[in-house]
Structure 1
Amino acid sequence: MKKIYGNKQLLDVLSGMAARGKAAHSVIISGEKGSGRKLAAKYYTQALMCESPSEGKPCGVCNACCNVEKDIHPDVIYPEKTGKLGNYSVSTAREVIADAYVRPNNSSGCKVYIFADCRHVDPRTQNTLLKLIEEPPEYAYFIFTCDSKAEFLSTIVSRCVCFSTSPCTEEEAAESLAENGFGQEEIRTAVSCFHGNIGMCERYISDEGIRKSVDLTKSLADSIIRKDEYALCVGLFSLGREREDVREQLSMLDKLVRDAAVLAKDPGGQTIGCFREGAAALAKSVTAYQSTRLHSCIEKAWRAVESNVSIPLALTALGAEIMEIVG
């Protein structure tokens, strides 16, 4: 089983529930992308399925643990996302309900459904699942991973045990990356961009698309600092029309704006974005009030993209608002 860095308290709680025979049937694990929420979900699944657990901790070597790790366990189901927004539909919820009442055929007697990367799940889908989550079969478990539990209706949240992932230290991130065979220079660069977020650090090293996103974030920051409306518009329109890519880029830009606000108050403050130097320069060119407004307009654009608004339209409005704020 792959070593999991950080989130020790969360993993101890999950294995502790399994060891005491009081495993929660419905769990929400929230945290930013790359923070280990999927690893935690898989760890909990292994704790439930393991053939030879030790105090609730999965052994990582039995057939069940290996099959969960490889995503081939027949009784670990990842419901399908559908539609333009790539979300869980009412139809999918009904399929899960029907399948949940088919007993599993494995030594643990458990069946686990992992709803990964939940974002703006249709309330109708959530309401369809509500009764099942409230009164599940004794062998059925449901795990939801998301950025924030605020993604769910209060009725769903109240019927789940909620956990949050916590960031690793940069030292832990570097150790994990070294263990995976990455070179010291690429580790240093990745950690400088994504700090203790191991998942994003790994993506930065192995995915050219993420490296381009970091470069674009730097370019957008430079355009804002120089108040170059043309360059800003060109940069925003280069994001394309893939919603996931646009959301990720806006999130990176928003973190840079957040860092600028922090560094304006404390030049030695801790940053979470991918471009500390750009955040420091932006901190010198905008006020705290302007930083707050920049955050608000980026967040509004992010929500528009989430809501299936035309991406070019949302980005055009964003560019105009940014220039109005800093101009």
Structure 2
Amino acid sequence: MKKIYGNKQLLDALAGMRASGRTAHSMMICGEKGSGRKLIARYYAQSLMCEAPENGRPCGVCNACRNVEKGIHPDVIYPEKSGKLGNYKIETAREVIADAYVKPNNSSGCKVYIFADCSHVQAPTQNALLKLIEEPPEYAYFIFTCGSKSEFLPTIISRCVCFSTSLCTEEEAAESLGESGFAANDIQKAISCFHGNIGMCESYITDEELRARVDLTKSLADSIIRKDEYALSVGLFSLGRERDDVREVLSMLDKLFRDAAVLAKDSSAETIGCFREGAAALSRSVTAYQSARIHSLIEKAWGAVESNVGIPLALTALGAEIMEIVG
């Protein structure tokens, strides 16, 4: 069973529920991408299915634990996403509702549904699931992982036990990446970008496209530092039309301006973004007030993209507004 770094309080809470027999039938695990929310969801599923739990914790070696780890346990179900936006549709909800009333066939007597990476789940889908979550069969459990509780309707949130993941220390991240067999130089580069976010560090090492998005974010920051509106426009245009790419780059750019505001007050402060040197340079040319305004602009641009405004149009407007502030 893969070791989970950090999140000790969360893991202790899950173990306490399992040991006391007061397990939550509906759970929401929130946290930033790469922070271990899906890993913890799987861990909770293992604790429910485990043939020999130890103080509420899964043993990690029984057949049930191994099958959950491999993703082949027949009663740990990951509902499928569909459509252009990769979302959970109402048809999927109806399939889950029908399946949930089919009793499991395993020694634990449990059946677990893990809705991973929930984002903009449509209201009809959530409303369809509401009755099932409110009054589930005694053997059925539902786990939702997401970036924020705000992704869900208040009626869903009120029926779930909600937990938040936390990032590890950089030392813990380095230890975890080392155990996975990554080279020391690659680990150092990854941690300089994503710090204690183990999932994102792993992706940075293995995913060439993520490295390209990090490089693009750094290039955008350089363009802003140089006040080169043309280079900024070209960089933003090169993002293309994939929403996930746009969201990730805008999120990384937003963190750089947050870091710039922090470094302007304390040059030795810890940063959370992927480009400390760029944030330091921004801190010398952009005030904290300007950083806050740019943060609002980035949020507005992403809101426009989510509202189906054309991505090139939204990014062009963003570039012009940023240059108006820093110029």
**TM bracket, shorter-chain basis:** over 0.9
Match of 1:267 in 2: 267
Residues 1:102 and 2:74 are matched in the alignment: no
Answer yes or no: is 1:68 the counterpart of 2:63: no
Once the two structures are superposed, what CA deviation does each residue of 1:183-233 show, in whole Å capped at 9, x if it has no partner? 111111111111000001111111111111111111000001111111001
Gaps of 5+ in 2: none
On the 8 A contact 1:85/1:308 being kept in 2, the answer is no
Distance 1:51 1:81, change over 3 A: same
SS at match of 1:174: helix
Deviation of residue 268 (structure 1)? 1.1
Q: Partner of 2:139 in structure 1? A: 139
**Distance between the aligned counterparts of 1:106 and 1:228, measured in 2?**
63
Give the match's secondary structure for 1:45.
helix
Q: Distance in 2 between matches of 1:140 and 1:287?
A: 52
TM-score of the superposed pair, with normalisation by structure 1: 0.98
Letter in 2 for 1:172: E
Cα displacement (A) at 1:309: 2.7
Task: Point out the more displaced range, 68-77 or 167-176.
Answer: 68-77
Q: Which residue is equivalent to 2:79?
A: 79
| Alpha-carbon distance in structure 1 between the residues aligned to 2:41 and 2:255 | 26
SS of corresponding position for 1:251: helix
Determine the C-alpha separation between the residues in 2 that align with 1:91 and 1:326.
48
Quote the offset at 1:60 in angstroms. 0.8
Q: How does 1:31-42 map to 2 (within 5 A)?
A: 31-42=31-42
Q: Distance in 2 between matches of 1:36 and 1:274?
A: 19
Contact residue 247 and residue 305 of structure 1 kept, 8 A: no
Please state whether the residue corresponding to 1:219 is helix, strand or coil. helix
Q: Say whether 1:2 aligns with 2:2.
A: yes
Match in the other structure for 1:307: 307
Counterpart check, 1:119 vs 2:123: no
The share of aligned pairs that are identical, in percent, is: 80
Shift of 1:307: 3.2
Partners of 2:118 and 2:304 lie apart in 1 by: 17
Give yes or no for the alignment of 1:184 onto 2:179: no
Q: Distance in 2 between matches of 1:20 and 1:59?
A: 17
Query: Aligned partners of 2:110, 2:313: CA distance in 1, in Å?
Result: 47
Match of 1:325 in 2: 325
Residue 158 of structure 2: aligned partner: 158
Letter in 1 for 2:128: T
1:58 partnered with 2:58: yes
Aligned residue pairs, count = 327
Q: Does the CA-based 8 Å contact 1:290-1:325 persist in structure 2?
A: yes
Equivalent residue, structure 1, for 2:93: 93
2:225: which partner in 1? 225
Residue 151 of structure 1 and its aligned partner are, at CA, apart by 1.1
Give the CA deviation at 1:306. 2.8
Counterpart contact for 1:29–1:143, Cα < 8 Å: yes
Q: 1:25–1:136: 8 Å Cα contact kept in structure 2?
A: yes
2:242 maps to 242
SS for the counterpart of 1:138 is coil
Q: Which amino acid aligns with 2:294?
A: L
Letter in 2 for 1:136: P
TM-score between both structures, scaled by the size of structure 2: 0.98
- CA offset digits 1:277-322 (Å, max 9, x no partner): 1001001111111101110111112222233332112211211211
TM-superposed deviation, 1:172: 0.2
